[in-house]
A and B are shown apart, each in its own frame.
Chain A
Amino acid sequence: MKADNKKESADEQNNFIQRLVALKRYEQPDPYFETRNLAVLREKLSGAAPGRGWANRWFGWLFNGSVPAFRMVVVSCLLALLSVNLLLLNSVPNLSPESVSPDEGVAVISSDSDMRLASTNESLDLYRKPVFVFEYPSNRQAVGPVQMGPSSVPVRYDY
């Protein structure tokens, strides 16, 4: 019985809130809204054909505007820029793996080379950097006692 009453009261409240919110339908735009809206739309849409595709719209923008010459210059510049970029792109040497012979591009330096090891900033060849190779294989198993703390790690330089 109590539960029924509670439900009834909740329904009543719900219903009243719904009716209260519905009062918002009495809020109306000013009486000139419709005329104003139609006039603005007419102005905005004058000359625009309905539902034209993007290509047609671009064409219209180019040739039907008030300053078509300026637009033509802008578009010509953009096209020229695009063409130059494409040409530059074609002049880049082909670096695909098939086009490089096996010996090409691989620097072979003997270990006796007296090349001075230097930091990258002092190096004459900025792109030839020493590679540090650790003497221990990475998957080595611990055979002796585990060494703790700082100590020297055997390392050699390679290129």
Chain B
Amino acid sequence: MADEPKNQVVEALEPPDAVLVARARANDYSSYEELVRRYQRRIYALVYNMTGNKEDTEDLVQDVFVKAYRVLHGFKGNSSFYTWIYRIAVNRTINFLHKRKRRGSSVSLDDVDQAVERDPALLELRSRESPVRDVTISELQNKLNAALQTLSEDHRTVVVMHDIQGMQHAEIAGILNCSEGTVRSRLFYARKQLQHELAEYAP
């Protein structure tokens, strides 16, 4: 009982996606902007890790949100807004990658947060008695990016969503419209290929 007013306050301060979607449909642009504010970083990370180019990523992220706004009437609410917008982002990025394959690609990477220096995986790598202990962050970033780009779009998508963005198998399956088994299988084969590509860093 006591929780009810508290929930109402929280809802007023941070309304759920469904409420914002309904308001945005009623021509309230600020509500849509709030949705963009909520998801733009995650969509950016997804697209960036799939394309490996920050300029392309910015254009694609804008494209995703413009497209979503234009087809907002088609959003039936069967899934969450988050799932829906992710689906649009994945589809548009894969289309973009197909086009890019024909005209060639370039790499332009984002800056790395200094917090990476305290990451256990990096500390473990640097504690080894092997040449890889001297690897710089920038070298490692380039290697990881190159390894990711060798994967097929389907495999790269699941690796980005699961290993980088920390999403659950079921969540990924919902976005990609496939079974959890398919997600697991793609992850298995993708990691196998990554092991081959990053063999020099493996323990």
A23 near B144 with CB under 8 A, answer yes
What's the nearest-Cβ distance from chain B to residue A11, in Å? 11
Q: Is A48 an interface residue (CB 8 A)?
A: yes
Q: Is A28 an interface residue (CB 8 A)?
A: yes
Chain A interface, >50% SS class: helix
Q: Is A25 an interface residue (CB 8 A)?
A: yes
Q: Is B7 an interface residue (CB 8 A)?
A: no
Q: Is B175 an interface residue (CB 8 A)?
A: no
Q: Which residues of B contact A34 (CB under 8 A)?
A: 37, 40-41
Q: Is A102 an interface residue (CB 8 A)?
A: no
Q: Is B61 an interface residue (CB 8 A)?
A: yes
How many residue pairs link A and B with beta carbons under 8 A? The number is 134
Q: Is B164 an interface residue (CB 8 A)?
A: yes
Interface size on B, residues (CB 8 A): 59
Interface size on A, residues (CB 8 A): 34
Q: State the CA gap A30–B110 with chains docked (Å).
A: 7
A-B contact pairs, 26 of them (CB 8 A): A12-B203, A16-B121, A17-B198, A17-B202, A18-B163, A23-B121, A23-B144, A25-B165, A26-B116, A27-B112, A29-B41, A29-B48, A33-B40, A33-B44, A37-B61, A38-B36, A38-B37, A41-B36, A41-B66, A44-B62, A45-B32, A45-B69, A50-B73, A51-B69, A51-B71, A52-B73
